[in-house]
Structure 1
Amino acid sequence: MASTINLVVMAAGKGTRMKSATPKVLHPIAGKPLVQHVLDTMALLPAAARIVITGHGAEAVEARTRGEALRFVRQMPQLGTGHAVQQALPALDDSAPITLILNGDTPLVQEATARALAEACGGTKLALLTVVLDDPTGYGRILREGQRPDGAVLGIKEHKDASEAERQIREGYTGMMAAPTAALRRWLAALKNDNAQGEYYLTDIVAMAVAEGVPVVATQAANETEVLGVNDPVQLADLERRFQRCEAEALMRAGVRLLDPARFDLRGTLTHGSDVEIDVGCVFEGHVHLADGVKVGAHCVIKNARLDAGAVIHPFTHIDGESQPVQVGAGALIGPFARLRPGATLGREVHIGNFVEVKNSSLADGAKANHLAYLGDATVGERVNYGAGAITANYDGANKHRTVIGADVHVGSNCVLVAPLTIGAGATIGGGSTVTKEVPAGGLTVARARQATLPGWQRPVKAKK
């Protein structure tokens, strides 16, 4: 099928029923715009031309849409699906005998289905992608000879124009087709808008093909989910759960233990080793790798991170490697309620406890910050014990500075380490200290005011009115 296809994706609709200022095709499934799902899947097909038809919110759609060698054409105003594809005609490559037309709001269509649709066309037939539904409301109905399931396709009747008898037909048109490129140009030029909506329907070309004796064939999608479109928030949420269920089942078949696949969300890619366990309510974004034996507690959010073997992430932990991936070493214990920000790199058996935040910092093997602490722009040596309430003051109001803490340092509770600062190996920082100068190795450093007591001191009281 090398470069025999013009790929056209319709993404011009407003999506009025979404009741949103965001163009419909930019609403997300699994954290990615609907139309981007289509383009990413179709990137697996060789195409002579890749064309996206935009309209409502065209600037936003074009800015958010990525793909190799995409060409955008605009439909202004939006006068129906046939009118939309008319706008793509100047961009078609006539050397490609097949034009494949897909919907930008049908995100889960599979490569195999699209490929089969193009092959059914073969450059000589009009091929329609159909689906049999218990409730095909809103779908154009497939009209067949004698209304037999195996009868020749005679046309498509839009739901809005269908009679009551025609609305009983359960085979619906998905909005996706493959047509001979030369014939498509001819048919689109002949479209008329004499229908209830005053629009140019792409589906009208079916009757034209039949009249010319061009064979019209229908191929059915592998399943209902991959051809479901999105028209309102209810359908968006339903498709999200269908997608997530498919992802969860694939992970479980590969050996991952999900405590409840209905409460799992993947918004990127998740790779894993063996004996991985994931509790309920977890969200994975970007690229995440969970090595052998990793356990993720309930309600964690993990983005762009690698967790090495045996790491345990306790509940309600937030790991965010958005701009710089997070690395968690083997056997590390993280959380609950911990936050690892971009650039956090943790060695083996590091402990990061509740309400501890780590940003752009490395902690060597065995280092511990067990509660209520902040480490920013720091290099922490092996076996450091970082006390509760301790912080690195890494920002002077204009620039960030680094703190270097040597191996086996003990930082007492409630300390402020003012960067740039180096603390030598084996040093101890007394609790409550504000440290601004280099600390030598091995000794005790205390930097706080001497305690004083004023006997008989009276607290102020409010003045009586």
Structure 2
Amino acid sequence: MALNLVVMAAGKGTRMKSNLPKVLHKLAGKSLLQHVLDTMAPLPCAARIVITGHGAELVETRAQGELAFVRQMPQLGTGHAVQQAVPALADAPTTLILNGDTPLVRRETAEALAAACGGTKLALLTVVLDDPTGYGRILRNAQGQVLGIKEHKDASETERQIREGYTGMMAAPTAHLKRWLAALKNDNAQGEYYLTDIVAMAVAEGVEVVTAQASSETEVLGVNDRVQLADLERRFQRQQADSLMRAGVQLMDPARFDLRGHLEAGSDVEIDVGCVFEGRVSLGEGVRIGAHCVIKDAVIEAGAVIHPFTHIDGEAAGATVGAGALVGPFARLRPGARLGREVHIGNFVEVKNSQLADGAKANHLAYLGDATVGERVNYGAGSITANYDGANKHRTVIEADVHIGSNCVLVAPLTIGAGATIGGGSTISKNVPAGQLWVARGRQTHIPGWVRPVKTKK
């Protein structure tokens, strides 16, 4: 059954102490609002409406999806916010209202809430908490029927003892909702139009008010300040860590693990402490990731070892590490890096937009940019490809079984033929035929009688 989805995202978030609208602050690398939108993307919606207000233009620019935006100017409460969405509502029987600052609400929970409404009942999403401070309290009669919601700041001391809190999310019959919104008044302590006041209207009209329970406190926690955001980040990361461990991944310390995207992992993968995964990352069977690595948009195939403090950032082009390869420590793979099987990339080696065939090695202090490197090439310490002429990038081709000595400069465009050897300290700017030794450096000279200068004492 098609729904209207309404997401409230108009608040400033004063307690965040930030110029950035609250819903654009990030959890696990994604904005709070986008978490909600992405989670609800599979729902069959006739209209997807985001209510913006503070920083509206920025929120509307950054929110992704097929969305309609309405603005709440000024912000006069939750009821006033939803009033702005009324003209954009489609002719769907149920309207689902969610919070843009509650990023971990589950799609299954939203579906259960919409089903409880069924286009005829007012359904409230509630949660039972040991300390519901800040939540509106669910008021029930002796038979357990919902009578209304009392906002925390307007509740009496007796009402504040109620542990069932309203999460701010509901599903309502669309036709009733429009009428109830039009009848809202702002005669309360804050002078605002409360969406929660429609509960009493439903009860007065004999419309049944029902509740759906959230699966946990975590999924309905909102963000009002940076302390709450940090708490929610750790809760979310622990959820992801637990899921990976149940699937067979060994995390040395799940409290020191961060996933800011999507991670696929084969069996017997080991991940040490302090690692960060971003974008889309795939780890093959038996991969080992050393401590404090940052890996983004990369495929690392079975048996590869990524030593500590390595940075892999594939961005749009991606990066690939072949089976059994060894990378790091302190290595950097940039977009377009493609390492074959058993390739070795050692400490302080940078690879960008380059392909290294099976068995190639660059073990120390080197740069490979815009290069095609053949099988079993040995690339010496301190050597670089000079791929940029100040205006354009050029490619270096190093064919199979080439040996590049230490501290060489390979000036592209350039091809070094199979089996050739480049003597250490050479600057090579012309193509090198296969199998030959080339050396391009100044002759070593001895200067007789030379004495090192000595500082004069004053």
Shared fold by TM > 0.5? yes
Deviation at 1:215, TM superposition (A): 0.9
Aligned equivalents of 1:161 and 1:456: distance in 2? Answer: 95
**Aligned equivalent of 2:80:** 83
Is it true that 1:447 corresponds to 2:433 in the alignment?
no
Distance apart, 1:332 and its partner CA: 0.2
Which secondary structure state, in structure 2, belongs to the residue aligned with residue 164 of structure 1?
Answer: coil
Judged with a 3 Å threshold, the aligned counterparts in structure 2 of structure 1 residues 61 and 460 are, in CA distance, closer, same or farther, namely: farther
Aligned to 2:69: 72
Asked whether 1:50 is paired with 2:48, we answer yes
Q: Does 1:17 find its partner at 2:15?
A: yes
What is aligned with 1:421?
Answer: 414
Q: Distance in 2 between matches of 1:400 and 1:79?
A: 56
Query: What letter matches 1:300 in structure 2?
Result: C
Q: Could you report, residue by residue, the CA deviation over 1:404-462 in whole angstroms, capped at 9, with x for unpaired residues?
A: 00111111111111111111111111111111111111111111111123233355677
Q: Which residue of 2 aligns with 1:327?
A: 320
Q: Which moved more, 1:258-267 or 1:359-368?
A: 258-267
- Whichever residue aligns with residue 111 of structure 2, its letter is R
Shift of 1:135: 1.2
**Aligned letter for 2:191?**
G
Aligned runs of 1:14-413 on 2, under 5 Å?
14-67=12-65, 69-93=66-90, 95-146=91-142, 151-413=144-406
Q: Give, in angstroms, the shift of residue 210 of structure 1.
A: 1.0
SS in 1 for 2:230: helix
**What SS class does the counterpart of residue 375 from structure 2 fall into?**
coil
- State the 1:40 CA deviation: 0.8
Q: Distance in 2 between matches of 1:183 and 1:371?
A: 70
Report the equivalent of 2:426.
433
- Across the aligned residues of Structure 1 and Structure 2, the Cα RMSD in angstroms comes to 1.3
Please identify, of 273-282 and 375-384, the stretch whose mean Cα deviation from structure 2 is larger.
Answer: 273-282
Q: Structure 1: which amino acid aligns with 2:408?
A: C
Question: d(CA) in 2 for partners of 1:327 and 1:48?
Answer: 41
Output the amino acid matched with 1:417.
Answer: L
For residues 323 and 183 of structure 1, what CA distance do their matches in structure 2 show?
Answer: 47
| Per-residue Cα deviation, 1:113-172 (whole angstroms, up to 9, x for no partner) | 0011011111111110000111111111111114xxx61111111111111111111111
Distance, in Å, in 2 between the alignment partners of 1:141 and 1:30 is 31
Deviates more, 1:334-343 or 1:438-447: 438-447
SS at match of 1:343: coil
- Which amino acid is the alignment partner of residue 17 of structure 2? K
Provide Cα deviations, 1:356-391, integer angstroms capped at 9, x if missing partner: 000000000000000100000000010000000000
Distance in 1, Cα, partners of 2:57 & 2:444: 65
- Give 1:196 deviation, angstroms: 1.2
SS in 2 for 1:38: helix
Query: 1:107 aligns to what SS in structure 2?
Result: coil
Say if 1:449 and 1:228 are closer, same or farther in 2 by CA, change over 3 A: same
Give the match's secondary structure for 1:425: coil
1:171-221 deviation line (CA, Å, top 9, x unaligned)? 111000001101111111111111111111101111111111111111110
- The alpha-carbon deviation at position 397 of structure 1 amounts to 0.8
Counterpart residue number, 1:8: 6
Bigger drift between 315-324 and 452-461 goes to 452-461
Q: Which runs of 5+ in 1 are unaligned?
A: none
With normalisation by structure 1, the TM-score equals: 0.96
Secondary structure at 2:216's aligned position in 1? coil
**Amino acid across the alignment from 1:139:** Y
Q: Which amino acid aligns with 2:267?
A: S
Structure 2 residue runs of 5 or longer lacking an equivalent are none
**Aligned length, in residue pairs:** 458
Poorly superposed stretches of 4+, deviation over 3 Å: 456-465
Deviation at 1:263, TM superposition (A): 1.1
**CA-to-partner distance for each residue in 1:91-117, whole Å, 9 max, x for gaps?**
001x21111000000011111100110
CA distance in 1, matches of 2:81, 2:87: 12
Report the secondary structure of 1:208's partner residue.
Answer: helix
Provide the C-alpha distance between the structure 1 equivalents of 2:313 and 2:44, rounded to a whole number of angstroms. 36
2:53 aligned partner, one-letter code: G
